[in-house]
Structure 1
């Protein structure tokens, strides 16, 4: 069993979210969000909404957990965070766009998240394809996981907010560490969800067109992968190295290798620091 959540008096930097206030602020006059629920603890917010999708839960359902005990990341990895130290949130979506364009949904989520954390003083962030938000030093602030479920898509986000260095995995960081000051989780959550709504509705209206909706332009502006030498580990365990040249119409990473160009729909990207793009 996970450890009990610390009391407010013990850790004032980790107060609980005011669910009623956040929900009211989010859903008032929203064209997307129908409900927001905050639960104290859950195994996986994505798993709960995947089950809800099978029960025909509406688009715009949002689930936030103060503590996630069995979070899931890409490539079957686990993701955990101390109680109230981060933002663990999943969104239930039913985008009416061509199936091939749905590959842009985690990238859209990343842009909305990057824009939200950029308003925290002292924080500079970038996006590593396909699903990581990085701090200026390359450490990981957040991860994104999109899952198809009963005709819907569930998108989960795990963002480290007040997590201390000793609580983080190797290569991880938090907004508080990057900013050097406490960060208001509720404010970041609302900025993220409002920004996501604006981008998502424009993208759906453009039938998933990443160029017509402006998403491709803005994603490239936040990307630290495109234009960078990379090594990509593929789902079968093999790897390719080359230069990330672009993201295509379906959200795939285009990598120039010695053997030619590859379009990758998935993979674990490592940025190769200090390498010359023209020499790979």
Structure 2
């Protein structure tokens, strides 16, 4: 984590004020709550890498939140880089320790986080969002579906998981890393003030994580499976699943199964669950 001079020109954009760490802690850290500490740093390589390292070293506990105003080596799935201008988005990681939950159900954590993020942003930013399986947040810009956020979950030792979230908030069209990307601002958000957006997302995540844990990680009893399916833009679409080993499957995405896998109905009538891979939407919703 690298401190930067406050006079640096990149930090003087008045349209992108810094996050208020003290206010975030006052609003989110409470006795009996999930969030134990919220640290905001100006810049780092990757909040996920930093928090995993802290957890493995025994220097962070469940409920730790690390937020960066800028990431130089932010990572998505398949080791893809996630870059954005300073203070243009929400880039944070949380440490979870789902003790007592069968490890087989931990695969629901990134999907749970997607539901929480979409719910929080809907409330605080007034943006209609959708989820692309397994971990992308989609918004509509000019009638076109675009990715505005992503989620990455990583194990931290034997009993902890770090979940990282990246959300493009105020990126302008000329700042997008690729033309297919989007942001909350471009999608017509009613608010792009990152402090209340982050509070809304973390409160939603605390609510969903608590519900899931109370149900023993059961995605049906917690309502998670039904809610994810309702907000999943991948279901009902023709998709191509690009799998490890240079294998691919084409079919219609028909369900999310009990393990959080995407079920594809192929043209030969076989239903095949996909637990990992890259999903390409082949036709509009």
- Aligned pair 1:263/2:273, yes or no? yes
TM-score (norm 1): 0.92
Give the 3 Å change call, closer, same or farther, for CA 228–104 of structure 1 in structure 2: same
Offset at residue 94 of structure 1 (A) = 0.7
Q: How does 1:59-138 map to 2 (within 5 A)?
A: 59-96=62-99, 97-120=101-124, 123-136=127-140, 137-138=144-145
Q: How does 1:1-280 map to 2 (within 5 A)?
A: 4=8, 6-8=10-12, 11-56=13-58, 57-96=60-99, 97-120=101-124, 123-136=127-140, 137-151=144-158, 152-168=160-176, 169-179=178-188, 183-259=192-268, 260-273=270-283
Q: Which runs of 5+ in 1 are unaligned?
A: 276-280
Cα distance between partner residues in 1 of 2:119 and 2:193: 15
Offset at residue 273 of structure 1 (A) = 1.2
- Tell me the matched-pair count: 273
Moved beyond 3 Å, runs of 4+: 1-5
Cα distance between partner residues in 1 of 2:9 and 2:108: 36
2:44 match: secondary structure: coil
Is contact 1:13–1:182 with CA below 8 Å preserved after alignment?
A: no
Is contact 2:74–2:83 with CA below 8 Å preserved after alignment?
A: yes
Cα distance between partner residues in 2 of 1:15 and 1:235: 42
Q: 1:278 — aligned with what?
A: none
Offset at residue 63 of structure 1 (A) = 0.1
1:145 match: secondary structure: strand
2:43 match: secondary structure: coil
- TM-align CA RMSD: 1.9
CA offset digits 1:103-132 (Å, max 9, x no partner): 110000000110112125552110000000
Offset at residue 170 of structure 1 (A) = 2.5
2:10 match: secondary structure: coil
Offset at residue 274 of structure 1 (A) = 5.1
Offset at residue 237 of structure 1 (A) = 2.5
Offset at residue 67 of structure 1 (A) = 0.4
Q: Which runs of 5+ in 2 are unaligned?
A: none
TM-score (norm 2): 0.91
Offset at residue 227 of structure 1 (A) = 1.7
Give the 3 Å change call, closer, same or farther, for CA 24–120 of structure 1 in structure 2: closer
Offset at residue 248 of structure 1 (A) = 1.1
Is contact 1:120–1:179 with CA below 8 Å preserved after alignment?
A: no
Is contact 1:162–1:183 with CA below 8 Å preserved after alignment?
A: yes
Is contact 1:75–1:235 with CA below 8 Å preserved after alignment?
A: no
Cα distance between partner residues in 1 of 2:117 and 2:41: 21
